[in-house]
Amino acid sequence: MLCVIRKAALFAVLAVIQSVNFVELEEKIVNYFALLKEREAVGSSYIFIGDNPSVIDRLLKVINCVKSKTYCQKCWSCVRVDNRRNPDLMVVKPEGLSIKIESIREGIRFLSLKSYYCPKKILIVEKAHKMSQEASNLFLKTLEEPPNDCVIGLLVPKLGDVLPTITSRCRKIYLPWQEKKVKVSFFSGKKPFIPAAPSLKNRKDFALFLENLILSLHSQLKELLFKGKDEGFLGLDKLIEGIEETLKIYKAHHTININLALNLIRMRLQ
């Protein structure tokens, strides 16, 4: 049996893991927009950072569905988000290497027209970091003061890819990673496998690895807590230390040196 103090420590760590909650981030964003809709407080200009287009489609439905607090998937508006035949929705994309000034001009004209059916007119600019300098400059005034009942959404992979003059005019929403499948295997035998830095191609892979590692350690911890197994592959103290270290690194994953971070995790877990 686990002693009371150990059990309390485990619950504390479990609570921290649950507060990270990246697993449910997509649902949180959808619910956040549902709440904004309910309070009639949906903003006019957003920048979505990440690469998860499925969330964007869900948000488009939330904003304009009047049949449900979130979205119903059946109404006129919801159906036309899926088939992209909604006259109140326009999507601008790069043509060739960049988004041309003509496309942005067309988007601005679209926003100035009265809405056809939906409560809000929505302009989405995919790969907004590819806007030409001219297109960005033309867009600034509209981003700052869009016409009434309009929502503009800019999609970018990284915040640093767009001009600060653009980002400062938008509310920022960080999207969850698109792929949640385990790219890095943790447990060869019984110990977690910590990859060498070069096998993680970029920070996205690094973050994905950390998320999956935390989930893995989380399930080990639950085994200990709820099934009363006294020792996992690591031993309780090492497991707690490992989780705390990994959580700290996860919070700093945008800036931390990946090699150093992996060494720290390796020291704790192996």
Whole-number minimum distance, CB 161 to Zn ion, in Å? 33
CB nearer Zn ion, residue 23 or residue 72: 72
Whole-number minimum distance, CB 31 to Zn ion, in Å? 16
H helices of the chain, in order, are 4-20, 25-38, 53-64, 76-82, 101-112, 133-144, 164-167, 203-226, 236-251, 258-269
Whole-number minimum distance, CB 36 to Zn ion, in Å? 16
171 is a contact residue toward Zn ion (CB under 5 A): no
Asked whether 212 and 235 are in contact (CB, 8 A), the reply is no
CB nearer Zn ion, residue 70 or residue 167: 70
First to last CA, the chain: 25
Please enumerate in sequence order all residues whose Cβ is within 8 A of that of 90, keeping only pairs 6 or more positions apart, or say none.
106, 107, 110, 121, 122, 123, 124
Closest CA to 121 of 106, 137, 141, 107: 107
CB nearer Zn ion, residue 104 or residue 151: 151
Q: Which of residues 62-81 bind Zn ion (CB under 5 A)?
A: 65, 67, 71-72, 75, 78
Binding segment for Zn ion (CB under 5 A), chosen from 60-68, 132-140, 212-220, 237-245, is: 60-68
Distance, CA of 109 to CA of 5 (rounded, Å)? 64
Asked whether 13 and 244 are in contact (CB, 8 A), the reply is yes
Whole-number minimum distance, CB 93 to Zn ion, in Å? 25
CB nearer Zn ion, residue 65 or residue 264: 65
CB nearer Zn ion, residue 34 or residue 221: 34
Whole-number minimum distance, CB 113 to Zn ion, in Å? 22
Whole-number minimum distance, CB 50 to Zn ion, in Å? 24
**Ramachandran bin of 87, using left for φ above 0, alpha for ψ from -120 to 50, beta for the remaining angles:** alpha
CB nearer Zn ion, residue 25 or residue 75: 75
| Binding-site ranges for Zn ion (CB under 5 A) | 65, 67, 71-72, 75, 78
